[in-house]
Amino acid sequence: MQKGKIIKGIGGFYYVHTRDNVIYECRAKGIFRKNGIKPLVGDDVGIEILDEKEKTGNLMEILPRKNTLIRPAVANVDQALVIFAVNRPKPNFNLLDHFLVMMEYQKVKTVICFNKEDLSTKEELEELQRIYAGCESQVLFVSAGQEKGMEAVHEILKGKTTTVAGPSGVGKSTLINRICPQASMETGEISRKIDRGKHTTRHSELFYVEEDTYLMDTPGFSSLMLPEMEKEDLQNYFPDFTPFEPFCRFQGCLHDKEPDCGIKEALAEGKISERRYQSYLEMLEELKDRRKY
């Protein structure tokens, strides 16, 4: 039996990338259906090779999963890399913070990568650093266009499976193509046009970069919805708020209208960023509205 990783699944076929850098087209044997387990992109699997020339095989075994993301539906993701531009376009902080909450909820570490550093001033970079200082996310500044800071991105990706997200125009394709040229067809303008025009279901797909290193494009990034949660739980996904929560007078404080709130005090003292707090309030409203309807 050979070991490999499912990098794509379409129409009952699973494409398994092995350590020898070969891709086998495999079918899942009945055992999985009986167990109720559906193989997922990202699964580490054992395959039986049927035809070495045709590169076909059978999925025999799914190794235990480290985790399973719901959106995108993929197994064994180690981290997320979210890309925004420092400028042109200006970062959409609400979208960025939505993504951070979504990943925190799914217990996946996020690295924030601000691209187009060449178009920014020192003050702008410091401001971005300050906003995300209290979050557990590492913040990187790069210029994919000018190949600046790319070693740091490479280092972060190495040996891991990373889901890469970002709105259009920020230089995500440029960055991915620098790291993984074989992914270029999927990340450029063409795939976006196909997506828009035909409403095709976007399949999750991993791209092999180097040994044990895979990248995945995160579909549906621009229309992120918060996961199902109680409004009281939202704050759990803002790690920059956590140190100040014990200073709230009321248990279950939502840090909104309540008096003697540790978060609002930290905000007034500049220990929490105004931007992050605004994102929190907007998400809180989103959760309250959801309740009403």
x/- mask, ligand GDP, residues 108-127, rule CB under 6 A, reads -------xx-xx--------
Q: Strands 56-62 and 68-69: what pairing?
A: unpaired
Binding status of residue 144 toward ligand GDP by CB under 6 A: yes
- Could you tell me which stretch among 105-113, 142-150, 257-265, 277-285 binds ligand GDP (CB under 6 A)? 142-150
- Could you tell me which stretch among 6-14, 89-97, 141-149, 206-214 binds ligand GDP (CB under 6 A)? 141-149
- Considering the complex, state which of residue 169 and residue 227 has its C-beta at the smaller distance from ligand GDP: 169
- Could you tell me which stretch among 30-38, 95-103, 131-139, 140-148 binds ligand GDP (CB under 6 A)? 140-148
Q: Name the binding residues.
A: 115-118, 166-174, 248, 253, 255, 261
CA distance 183 to 180: 6
Q: How far is CA 173 from CA 11, 146, 154, 168, 254, in A?
A: 27, 14, 15, 9, 39
Selected from 4, 9, 72, 171, the binder of ligand GDP by CB under 6 A is 171
Q: Is 68 exposed, middle or buried (0-12, 13-18, 19+ CB in 10 A)?
A: middle
- Considering the complex, state which of residue 10 and residue 119 has its C-beta at the smaller distance from ligand GDP: 119
Binding status of residue 92 toward ligand GDP by CB under 6 A: no
Q: Which residues bind ligand GDP (CB under 6 A)?
A: 115-116, 118-119, 143-146, 166, 168-174
